[in-house]
Amino acid sequence: MTHNKLHSVRRFPGRLRGWQGLAVVFGCGLLPVHGLNYTLGVSTEMAGATDVLLVDSEMFVRLRNDQREITVSLGAAEIDLEYRPPKVNILGRSEDLSESKQSGQLTWREGLDERMQWTFSCGGYQGFTDYRSLWLDEYYRQLFSTVAGYQTADVGGLNASIGGKYEYLKGSGLVTCSVGWQQDEVAPGYEKIIFGPLLRGEDNLATWRFGVGSEHVLSPRVRFKQDAAAIQSTARAWRYAYGAETAWALADAWTARLRLETAKEAEFHAGSAALLMERDWEGRWFAGLALRAYADNGQIIDPLLISGAAPPLDSYLLQLTLRYAGPHATWRLALGPYLTRYSQLTPGTARFAPLYQDRDWFAAQGAWAWRF
């Protein structure tokens, strides 16, 4: 270590106040102060329909210097759901459900100044991850909570991952690979056999994800990124996913971004396409229009079997976006309609009609970050 570098490690930056001081204390020993900067960010997202309201918020603190970056994020999400029992469940009752989820994540990136970078991440959450799980949990609770063998769900999970990124062509090309592990405690389904015991579904799911990816500059106007993953979860077939995204500078002030995604798991297929057209002013203000369409063939294999699996779905998103990127602050607002349309339910899934009903959502996103 050179004298200058050693000196810079020992010297704290000029005027540190309040949480900035705390941030430096947090990073002390991990992040030499040379070139150290901090980013504070918050983001929130909401989607509401007539019977569901979803809100997901996150805040993060990021400390970064020339060599490494450490990000700590905390999240809080809320699901408000008007549960209406299926008509076949004559003893069922309507309930207003409200569940919250808390989460935390630590991400460490090492070697920012080198061609080979490493990323380590770990985190966890407590609470329902989606409104479908909450609806099904209430459905089974109302049916079987008085039957021997029923257990109240205690949902949550942990995750950890490691990834590498190699820049094989400076500023123009890189490849990535990653391995991730996730353990989820979920609310299981139940099935009552006549004159038999109550069967409880799998509630502890382990997931492994193996990913590769690359990013390339194809020309002075086009940047391209792709990623592929093989995912294996307990008691499920392998899922294979692929995504490709292109950013294209159409003109000095116009940019188009196109993202295509596909996923396959046994007989299940899904695909989506998203296009964002954006106009910018001086590279500071950006206004855009985003369109996205998604389709899958459903997760039902036997249409006669009673199942909470999702029927085929088409969905459409239209969003207006407004963003600002300044020397210190960046923020984004996006809002617009989101439509979900299910195919006709099968005899086995007809009882889940209140869950798998067509919905007209209103979706909004907001994000803000400040770099010190």
Between 142 and 272, whose beta carbon lies closer to other proteins? 272
The token duo for 159 is 């995750």
Please enumerate in sequence order all residues whose Cβ is within 8 A of that of 220, keeping only pairs 6 or more positions apart, or say none: none
Is 242 in contact with 253 (CB distance < 8 Å)?
Answer: no
CB 274 within 8 A of CB 247: no
Residue 28 or 102: the one with the smaller Cβ distance to other proteins is: 102
Question: Rounded to whole angstroms, what are the CA distances from 31 to 8, 21, 104, 115, 123?
Answer: 12, 14, 21, 19, 21
Q: How far is the CB of 141 from other proteins (least distance, A)?
A: 11
Residue number with CB closer to other proteins (34 or 259): 259
Q: Which is nearer to other proteins, 14 or 283 (CB)?
A: 283
User: Least distance in Å: CB of 3 to other proteins?
Assistant: 31
Query: What is the smallest separation between the CB atom of 283 and other proteins, expressed in angstroms?
Result: 6
Q: CB-wise, 26 or 370, nearer to other proteins?
A: 370
Residue 279 beta carbon to other proteins: minimum distance, rounded to whole angstroms: 10
Token match 């067509």: residue? Answer: 358
Question: What is the closest distance, in whole angstroms, from the C-beta atom of residue 323 to other proteins in the complex?
Answer: 6
Task: Tell me the backbone φ, ψ of residue 14, rounded to 5 degrees.
Answer: -45, -90
Q: Are 322 and 332 in contact (CB under 8 A)?
A: yes
* Cβ neighbours, 10 Å, residue 361: 19
R_g (Cα) of the chain, nearest Å:
24
